[in-house]
Structure 1
Amino acid sequence: MWRSTCVSAETVPVESGQDEEQGTEGRKGFSRDVLKLVSGTTVSQALVIIASPILARLFSPEAFGLLAIFTSITKVLGVVSCLRYEFAIMLPEEERDAVNLLALCCAIVTGISLLTLPVMLFFESAIVTFLNAPGLAGNLWLVAPFVFVTGLFAALNYWNSRTRRYGRLSVARVVSSVAITGGQLAAGFGGSATGGALIGASAFGQGVATGVLGAQIYRDDRRRFSRHVSLTGIRSMLVRYRKFPLFESWSGLLNVSSWQLPSLLLPVFFSPVQVGYYSLAFRLIVLPMDLIGSAIQQVFFQRASNAERDGRLGDLTEPVFRILLRIGLFPMLTLALIGRELFSVVFGTAWAEAGLYTQLLAVWALVWFISSPLSTIYMVQEKQGFGLTMNIANFITRFAAIVAGGLTGSARLSILLFGVAGIVVYGFLCVRLLMFSGIPARRTAQIVGKALLPFLPVAALLGALKYAGAPMILPLVVGIGACGLYYLFLLRKDPELREVFSGIGLPGMR
């Protein structure tokens, strides 16, 4: 049964300098772990962002659309490639149990990948026809190995988080980004600017990343594996954490499927070109947010598991929520006003439609960015039923949004309704997760209102410039400049945000 996790300073006093020292070390440890992940993610995401304007001029929107469709298929299958047992790796107190969970994940992903290959080969023609994507023909056999390496990477990733060796993950991410981006650029400049080339480079890069991470883990942890892995232990973990395949597999499948609906349904109603616009918009709107969000999620999951056991989850969650809001709110709302101008200047006028898509999705991206790291709360509290319910709602509303736009013949309406559905579902999810942690909705509203105030003057100025018909470059310069000044001010005046980036610590870890 869920219980309140807010612990006041009066009920749990700091009795000694040693306790204060341990609290300080906890805050430092949280930020060190985040920064290790951020460092690798920064380099890998920077490579992708830097290369994107070049790739956008080498490859057509249709080629990007084919890559997005292929990636969506692999993500839908990949989410259940370990039957969600990978999430359980973080939970056991005994190392023996975690090791056997990792072995269980490796066995499951191998079996599912072997079953996927003949299915893709046999049904390739039907899949290509349904998705209205003839460019996928001859490439679907890659789905099986792609599912294998991504599923294995997910399991290794959670083992890595459990052992807090975040530097290894940073190396793997950088290597993956270099391999994928390098392969795509080589294909483009070599005259093979096709969707198949983008798909092949992505599969190669993911395989390299999994190999690098797996080699590092095997080198450092092979004695743990040989000492603890057993068939009895694997069977025990299979039963002990059966809620993950029973509930979380369906929840995860619905969640990922709902994310991939635009890439899978837009070509049915329109063509891969619209998928290409959406994929670039999604890529550029999510990657910067993912830079911090995914790193915080990795570390928050590990810390939240301990905080829940100690009855201090609320003390950890509120400052993390404030930081996520302050990081994401200003740039995402700015992008909602100047996305079309940004894409036209950076990627060329051929991609202006993708810029419009970013404007339609920006507010949803903000709400997602805030709620995503916090979503591990329901896993820590073993509320898998709640997660399943939310993902069912997410899938239904997004499916209805895309289909409604498709039936009216408007891709823009599909994207707009998709974004609105995400705002509603993820907004409700965020409020509920904070309540699970002991933070009331009224307190959440106060935090959001305070964070929103600095953006209002900038929104008024940008709106006035666009209404007056100012040159495209002017609102773009104003928006980017305002974001830069905002972050400089925060780093100077906001102690919580400064602690995250300086590695001093994170309030709430006391």
Structure 2
Amino acid sequence: MKKLISTSFNKFKQHEFSKSVATLATGTIISQIIPILFSPIISRIYSPQDYALVAAYSSITVILTIIATGMYDSALMIDKEDSEAINTGSFAILITFLVTIISAIFFLLYGRSVTRWIGSDDLGFWIFLAPITILFHGFYQTLNVWNNRKGRYKRMASNRIIMTLITTSATLYFGYLGFAGKGLILSLIIGQAISFILLLIQTIRNDKEMFHFISWPLIWRSAKMHKHFPIYNMPQGFLDGLRESGLIWVISFFFGATALGSFSFAKNILMRPLQVIGNSVGNVFFQKASKVYHETNDIYKISKKTVIGLFLIGFPFAIVIFLWGESIFTIIWGQTWVEAGKFSKILIFWLLLNFIASPLGFVPIILKKQRQFFIFSVLTAAVPTGLFYFLGKTGYNIETSMIMYALTNIFFIIVFIKWIDLIIKKVCVPLPISS
């Protein structure tokens, strides 16, 4: 009888997991279909040089948005009680304010120097918008994790659709006005700002009774309790951002704006369908795995099921791109993006493995293995980017350099998956109640 009840409960949890993923995935599918449908028009309005500009802007903001919350937004997911989580989230918002103010002062003083250093003088005035991006990203991310904690997947899905609709509409509008790459930057900021305001209104309406749990002593208590997040997770996230940004800077420095724009466009196009499922699964996996770990101390089954499922979903897409990527890019997005099609064939299996492994990035947070994860992140940030820099400096062409970069990343992802498998088996000993 006990075994029957346990089996039924496990089936229910699996159904609940799939239903939650489906809800988020539906919203993500719609939100990704919108820009994909309009991408043949957008690709003929904007040039590779325009995409190089927004890539340069993102290379700066992606690093700062990672540290915007001190990684306390992730911490609020693992708090056992909402009364604890609301104070953790409050501290994340305070840090976002602080990082925004510091970055605004920094860019006012050194903004022009930064654009020259990364080899993108065209950014000019637009670099001063970076603090706005940091502010809205930090606020939105904290609210999004809170709603994920509360299981409000329909809200998260609809908000994502609204963000994409606004961003795509703004992209077309600014392109029509001839804003070029600046239009891509403005579109991102406007889409994020409006979606944050909407999510804020919805969250306050549902959770205003939680405000009375907020107090300075409890905020500082949460800050101290989760201090390992800024100590280990934030540097690890910073290194991930630096790896992504470093690649952009190296491509721009050695191979020019056209190559950077083609790379950015190819990666953006490939990531859209992968993110349809990847982000949805990742959000649900973090919430469900955290809950399962507190209840049973065992997340091996849910981790294994997630990895296998993502592989079965992503592999056919990767094969299609590898065989016909160049033709697909030329036919759909125009002759201007032939080089992007070549890059897509090189990048696809790295992006596939990254897609498969991405939810597992939450496992070190759940199991409190951030210190070990940080050491691993140092290697994954330094070695591939360092290799790409060396190849560019010694005169190798961009295709050869990108192939070696992709293969190096594939190696590190395989090692990461194996490490996660080992620590789950070592740490996650099922509690007697789960048997």
Provide the TM-score with structure 2 as the length reference: 0.94
> For the Cα contact (< 8 Å) 1:135–1:195, is it kept in 2?
no
Asked if 1:123 is matched to 2:110, the reply is yes
Q: Counterpart of 1:286?
A: 271
> For the Cα contact (< 8 Å) 1:261–1:398, is it kept in 2?
no
Q: Counterpart of 2:431?
A: none
Q: Report Cα offsets for 1:269-307 as digits up to 9, x if no partner.
A: 232221110111101111111111111111111111122
Asked if 1:169 is matched to 2:156, the reply is yes
Q: Give the residue type in structure 1 aligned to 2:304.
A: E
Asked if 1:250 is matched to 2:271, the reply is no
Q: CA deviation at 1:25?
A: 2.4
Q: Counterpart of 1:201?
A: 187
Q: CA deviation at 1:186?
A: 0.9
Distance 2:111 2:95 in 1: 24
Distance 2:392 2:403 in 1: 12
Q: 1:83-122 counterparts in 2 under 5 A?
A: 83-122=70-109
Q: Counterpart of 1:263?
A: 248
Q: 1:314-463 counterparts in 2 under 5 A?
A: 314-407=300-393, 408=395, 410-438=397-425
1:155 to 128, 138, 142: 142
Distance 1:428 1:288 in 2: 25
Are residues 330 and 223 of structure 1, via their aligned partners in 2, closer, same or farther at CA, if it must alter by over 3 Å? same
- Report the identity percentage: 23
Distance 1:111 1:63 in 2: 31
Q: Report Cα offsets for 1:80-110 as digits up to 9, x if no partner.
A: 0011111111111121110100100111101
Asked if 1:69 is matched to 2:43, the reply is no
SS in 1 for 2:70: coil
Are residues 251 and 211 of structure 1, via their aligned partners in 2, closer, same or farther at CA, if it must alter by over 3 Å? same
Tell me which moved more, 417-426 or 396-405: 396-405
Q: Counterpart of 1:502?
A: none
Q: CA deviation at 1:355?
A: 0.6
> For the Cα contact (< 8 Å) 2:119–2:249, is it kept in 1?
no
2:288 to 292, 303, 315: 303
Distance 1:90 1:82 in 2: 14
Q: Give the residue type in structure 2 aligned to 1:428.
A: V
Q: Counterpart of 2:35?
A: 48
Distance 2:238 2:49 in 1: 27
Distance 2:387 2:37 in 1: 32
Q: Counterpart of 2:124?
A: 137
Task: Tell me which structure has the larger Cα radius of gyration.
Answer: 1
1:276 to 251, 261, 266: 261
Tell me which moved more, 307-316 or 104-113: 307-316
Q: Give the residue type in structure 2 aligned to 1:352.
A: V
Tell me which moved more, 400-409 or 166-175: 400-409
Distance 1:124 1:316 in 2: 46
More helix by share: 2
Are residues 121 and 414 of structure 1, via their aligned partners in 2, closer, same or farther at CA, if it must alter by over 3 Å? farther
Tell me which moved more, 410-419 or 106-115: 410-419
> For the Cα contact (< 8 Å) 2:20–2:153, is it kept in 1?
yes
> For the Cα contact (< 8 Å) 2:17–2:284, is it kept in 1?
yes
Q: Which runs of 5+ in 1 are unaligned?
A: 1-13, 440-508
> For the Cα contact (< 8 Å) 1:262–1:275, is it kept in 2?
no
Q: Give the residue type in structure 2 aligned to 1:147.
A: I
Q: Give the residue type in structure 2 aligned to 1:148.
A: L
Q: CA deviation at 1:175?
A: 1.1
Q: Counterpart of 1:232?
A: 217
Distance 1:68 1:17 in 2: 54
Q: CA RMSD in A?
A: 1.7
Q: CA deviation at 1:18?
A: 4.0
Q: Counterpart of 1:10?
A: none
Q: How many matched pairs?
A: 426
Q: Which runs of 5+ in 2 are unaligned?
A: 427-433
Q: Give the residue type in structure 2 aligned to 1:369.
A: F
Distance 1:143 1:175 in 2: 22
Distance 2:272 2:422 in 1: 28
Moved over 4 A (4+): none
> For the Cα contact (< 8 Å) 1:261–1:402, is it kept in 2?
no
Q: CA deviation at 1:179?
A: 1.0
> For the Cα contact (< 8 Å) 1:301–1:376, is it kept in 2?
yes
SS in 1 for 2:167: helix
